[in-house]
Amino acid sequence: MDSLVIEKSRSSPAIRLDASARSLSISGESYPENAAAFYAPVFAWLKTFLADLEPTTMVQVDLAVRYLNSSSTKVMLNFLDLLEQAAQDGAQVIVNWRYDPDNESILECGQDFSEELTALTFNLVEQSQEPP
């Protein structure tokens, strides 16, 4: 399965979804004009990736976002829900939510998500980030 790579823009994050390394990463800011349209290829890729996943496989997810607008927040929850389902089906899913100590909103956002997810491992990781 091919990797999916989307370069970042001012209002959309960098996305690296690597099937062979089972490593998914999203970093940057997300307030695209139309979040549903922007993330459609990401969901298509993720659904195929998870459908082919062997049980007990480890999947590493790195999320280092500085800002999510409200529609991107909803999209991110849908993204995490698919991973949660995979974890319930036996995959070992580890999500690292990297937040800058100077950015309380994105820490709260990570806390909101972690309260919604139980089967996957959700770590809040403090990490200073370079401005865009």
Q: Which residues bind other proteins (CB under 8 A)?
A: 10-11, 31, 33-37, 66-67, 69-71, 73-75, 77, 100, 102-106, 112, 115-116
11 or 23: CB nearest other proteins: 11
Burial of 124 (0-12, 13-18, 19+ CB in 10 A): middle
Radius of gyration of the chain (CA): 14
53 or 124: CB nearest other proteins: 124
23 or 71: CB nearest other proteins: 71
Report d(CA 91, CA 4) in Å as an integer: 21
* Residue 126 beta carbon to other proteins: minimum distance, rounded to whole angstroms: 13
Between the two ends of the chain, the Cα-to-Cα distance in Å is 30
* Residue 56 beta carbon to other proteins: minimum distance, rounded to whole angstroms: 29
